[in-house]
A and B are shown apart, each in its own frame.
Chain A
Amino acid sequence: MSPGWLARNWIALSCAAAVVLYIAATLLAPYSHIGVYSFWEKEMYAFEPALSLDNYARALTNDLYRKAVMNSGIVALSVTLTTALLGYLLAYYLAFHATRWRTLLFFLLIVPLWTSFLLRAYIWKIILGRNGIINSWMMDLGLLDEPLSFLLYSKGSITLALVYIFLPFVALPVYAALEKIPRSYIEASTDLGAPSASTFRHVILPLSMPALTAGCTIVFCLSFGDFITPALLGGTGDLMIASVIISQFGSAYDWPFGSALAMLVLFVVLALVFVLRRLGRAASGGVE
């Protein structure tokens, strides 16, 4: 690197330095601290620096924690698949079939996105809860003598609430992608005699795939790490990994072990981001 090169590129260099510095200070430093802590040990009421794999061994061998990871995985996967299907359907309708109502419907899709996550989870407690609407209604009608408690406090109720919360996360980006597809592509495919199913499979789906996988990535990651919905709607039988982590940083007071669990979550999430990005790119034939 000659001084001349430095002089010519000093603006770009200082800009790169600023961005990298920001990332190092606000992202790298905090996230890497979880990694550091995960090797530490808990001694009575203090955390001692160490280089031990005990926390990971405990996280991976104990059935309770393995089941918690499984539960979170199952919920996140069901939420992702359901929102992908429903979100795509909705986006497709908005992009290709809704004519007069499109602006209004688009608005209606954004509104839930701007209202509280917490309240949208809580709504289902009102509807499905022991003293909730469904139970009180059915008892009024004489269909039930006692309130059903299985409506709430299960993986099902958590899944339902998360689908409710995250549906716009898929529908919006997919709608934006579908909207951008030139109508002439679709006409060309139809003019060449392709049935609408194959136009969908070979033209529309590949062009919307990056948006679909991007939406799915966010939905999976956020569902996998959510502790609010399980705390409000989950039962004691279906422990989620996020709830376990919270308790390690709260009542159990074992930050190093909690950090090891957090590292596992981080690993799952980043692996998934990587895989889905690949998938999205492959399916779209390299178009981004």
Chain B
Amino acid sequence: MSTGARPFFRGAAIAIFAFLYLPIAVLVMFSFQDSRVLSWPIDEWSLHWYRELLDNREIHRAILNSLIVGFSCVAVTTLGGVPLALALRRLPQWLRAFLERTLLLPLIIPQIITGLALLIILNRAGIKLSLATVILGQGIVWMPIVVTVVHARLLRIGGELEAASADLGANAWQTFFLITWPNIRTSVVGAALLVFTLSFDELPVTFFLIGGDNTLPMHIWSMMRIGITPEINAIATITVGVSIVLILLGMLTLVRDLGRS
């Protein structure tokens, strides 16, 4: 690469990262501002809005619901996605490519359409909306993540070890738990972490399928429609912090796994 281009690319990258992070910095700073009205520079710093969060029962309830939905989604997508990935691997190349692309549709089709499609079919089946329908909907949307991540790992490790295990007389379960599982475990954990975070934030599908209970994004959404509330800034700051911790955790698992092998 010519050296003349380097300063240009560096400048562009700095500008783009500033564009990505300045707004987050602003949000974090204003979450520590005491007054309700935004003003710059901040004249009084405080934990006022965090204290407000601690006292807000509705938000606690919403967080609990989101945790329920998140963990259930992880369970549903893992229990469904791993077998689907294992099944995909057994298929001939052309069929596999076609089915995998079809499975990916819920990630490409705008979620509003997936949400209302599920709303229509649940309505016709006479099923009442609740957290269970939210879990069903999100499970369908996030399933492709687990399937593709695990399937990619399966293709990478190849089938030789499993074939050897079968030749040596292991049954299918033994082969899965002793050979396949240790090899795909980190990809399953990585996908599960991603599903959990995405589910914790999901709004469009939840919007259509929610019953009487609110999830955290739905609660924040209703707060936002009213106007700017500094409480939202405090929630946002916590969310960003938790996301960073989760990513570091994910990366750490990956690094540890690489170190072991």
Contact = CB atoms under 8 A, between A and B. Distances in A.
Interface of A: 11-12, 15-16, 18-20, 22-23, 26-27, 29-31, 33-34, 37, 86, 89-90, 92-94, 96-98, 105, 107-112, 114-120, 122-127, 129, 131-133, 136-137, 140, 164, 167, 196, 217-218, 221-222, 224-228, 231-232, 242, 245-246, 249, 255, 258-259, 262, 265-266, 269-270, 273
Contacts of B67: none
Given A93-B9, A112-B24, A196-B1, 17 more contacts: A12-B92, A19-B87, A22-B103, A26-B140, A31-B113, A90-B12, A97-B6, A116-B217, A118-B220, A118-B224, A131-B37, A131-B38, A133-B38, A196-B5, A242-B110, A245-B116, A262-B117
Interface string B4-38: 01100110110011011101101100100000011
Nearest to A89: B12
B121 interface: yes
B260 interface: no
B40 A136 contact: yes
Nearest to B243: A114
A105 B220 CA distance: 30
A34 B117 contact: yes
A126 to B, nearest CB: 6
A12 B91 CA distance: 6
Contacts of A15: 86-88, 90-91
Given A27-B106, A107-B247, A122-B232, A196 B2 contact: yes
A218 B111 CA distance: 12
Contacts of A98: 13
B83 interface: yes
14 contacts: A15-B90, A16-B87, A16-B95, A27-B103, A27-B106, A93-B10, A97-B9, A97-B13, A123-B26, A132-B228, A228-B203, A231-B225, A245-B112, A249-B208
Contact of B30 (A26, A37, A126): A126
A273 B101 CA distance: 11
Contact of A262 (B92, B116, B232, B233): B116
B187 interface: no
A91 to B, nearest CB: 10
Contacts of A123: 23-24, 26-27, 236
User: Chain B: interface residue count, which band?
Assistant: 35 or more
A110 B246 CA distance: 11
Interface in B153-210: 194, 197, 201, 203-204, 208
Contacts of B99: 16, 19-20, 23
Given A131-B228, A232-B224, A227 B204 contact: yes
Interface in B100-124: 102-103, 105-114, 116-121, 124
Contacts of A228: 203-204, 221
Contact of A111 (B9, B121, B203, B247): B247
B56 interface: no
The 9 closest A-B CB pairs, nearest first, are A225-B110, A30-B117, A15-B87, A93-B13, A15-B90, A116-B201, A93-B9, A114-B243, A123-B23
A115 B112 contact: no
A98 B16 CA distance: 14
Contacts of A27: 102-103, 105-106, 140
Contact of B109 (A97, A117, A124, A269): A269
B90 A133 contact: no
Contacts of B91: 12, 15-16, 19
A213 to B, nearest CB: 13
A93 B12 contact: yes
Contacts of B10: 93, 97
Contacts of A218: 107-108
Choose among B10, B12, B117, B246 the residue with the greatest number of A CB atoms under 10 Å from its CB: B117
Residue with the highest number of chain B CB atoms closer than 10 Å, among A109, A116, A221: A116
A273 B102 CA distance: 12
Given A132-B38, A259-B116, A217 B108 contact: yes
B110 A224 contact: yes
Contacts of A269: 108-110
A12 B140 contact: no
Contacts of B252: none
B39 interface: yes
Nearest to B92: A12
B143 interface: yes
Contact of A164 (B23, B37, B86): B23
Contact of B20 (A89, A132, A164, A266): A164
